[in-house]
Structure 1
């Protein structure tokens, strides 16, 4: 029965407030992720998210340690430990900002294309997107790192979000999938030509 309910959930159209740019971008990102993971049967890699969680976890751990230390040894005695903890916390918050700006770069999914035979190294697919505030242009960029050669190939498209959403705010997966598939196949064709 649970398998049947999962199929119903997958077929249920996603509805968003079409005037909320952030919600629209996230819903379109989820639709692109579904194409890469479900249609092409790639394996999702969570290492980018794990890195962010690690930085956040250490920062929260330092803050909790400072709170506990201050509770056990009230303020005048806990001053040096609090200074160290506050400095460490802000250092990790700075590292987190650098990580999200220069490492993640808007990447919302990392998918691994495994070789069925297991002889060729895995190809890594990364999808990132941008949707500026008060703009309707959804910019999708897909990058593939060839496991064999290490070469990077990038493709992108810019489309109005109106191409993928109906009047009621439902994401039209039937319109998202062909665009992503066209971009995906163009990146594969580039590989064969080289």
Structure 2
């Protein structure tokens, strides 16, 4: 897959520690994202991540306000404001946890096909001490609000060679199969 290239237009080899589960998962996720955004030319949407960033920004703002208020009005005077800020911060962190658990759901890329009004969401997981990479791709049609999903579970050895090099061509083939099967489901309906 010539998506990751240097100035000479040769593919850059992604090499990872094949025994590090999170590095393996992240490298495979990046390869899937590259296929959706570069091969199929879908535009990546950052709205999901922006929600998390907004919650974090508000929480940091509350903490900064508490720090400034305590600096201007030393502790005994600032007690009530600090209590409100601390409670607000913990509420915001709780909302952030709920957001990442129930809204993001492990989604690492949201790609939008503007020509067909489709939104592609990819999420994955890799259990600790397991070699099975689980990828779930959800497709939502913006017009009809219809929803389709496809997934696969394969060993990471199918996508990473002995030296820890990610085999982008094999990932691209697998994602292309899923992509075409989801699009053919839409035509059948």
TM-score range, shorter chain: over 0.9
Distance in 2 (CA, whole Å) between partners of 1:114 and 1:133 is 37
Q: Within 5 Å, which residues of 2 pair with 1:1-194?
A: 6-8=6-8, 11-115=11-115, 122-194=117-189
Report the Cα offset of residue 168 of structure 1: 1.1
> What does the per-residue CA deviation read over 1:102-155, in whole Å, with 9 as the maximum and x for residues that have no partner?
00000000000011xxxx6x2100000010111110000000001231100000
Report the Cα offset of residue 167 of structure 1: 1.1
Secondary structure of the 2:17 match is: coil
Distance in 2 (CA, whole Å) between partners of 1:10 and 1:128 is 29
Distance in 2 (CA, whole Å) between partners of 1:15 and 1:37 is 21
> What does the per-residue CA deviation read over 1:74-129, in whole Å, with 9 as the maximum and x for residues that have no partner?
111110010000010000000000000000000000000011xxxx6x21000000
Runs of 4 or more consecutive aligned structure 1 residues displaced over 6 Å after TM superposition: none
> Is there any run of 5+ residues in structure 2 with no aligned partner, and where?
none
Q: Structure 1 length normalisation: TM-score?
A: 0.92
Aligned-residue CA RMSD (Å): 1.3
Report the Cα offset of residue 6 of structure 1: 4.2
> What does the per-residue CA deviation read over 1:40-70, in whole Å, with 9 as the maximum and x for residues that have no partner?
0000000000000000010011111111111
> What does the per-residue CA deviation read over 1:153-189, in whole Å, with 9 as the maximum and x for residues that have no partner?
0000000001101111111101110001101111001
Q: Structure 2 length normalisation: TM-score?
A: 0.94
For these two proteins, the number of residue pairs brought into alignment is 185
Secondary structure of the 1:129 match is: strand
Distance in 2 (CA, whole Å) between partners of 1:73 and 1:67 is 10
Distance in 2 (CA, whole Å) between partners of 1:184 and 1:76 is 62
Distance 1:102-1:7 versus aligned 2 partners, 3 A rule: farther
Distance in 2 (CA, whole Å) between partners of 1:6 and 1:70 is 51
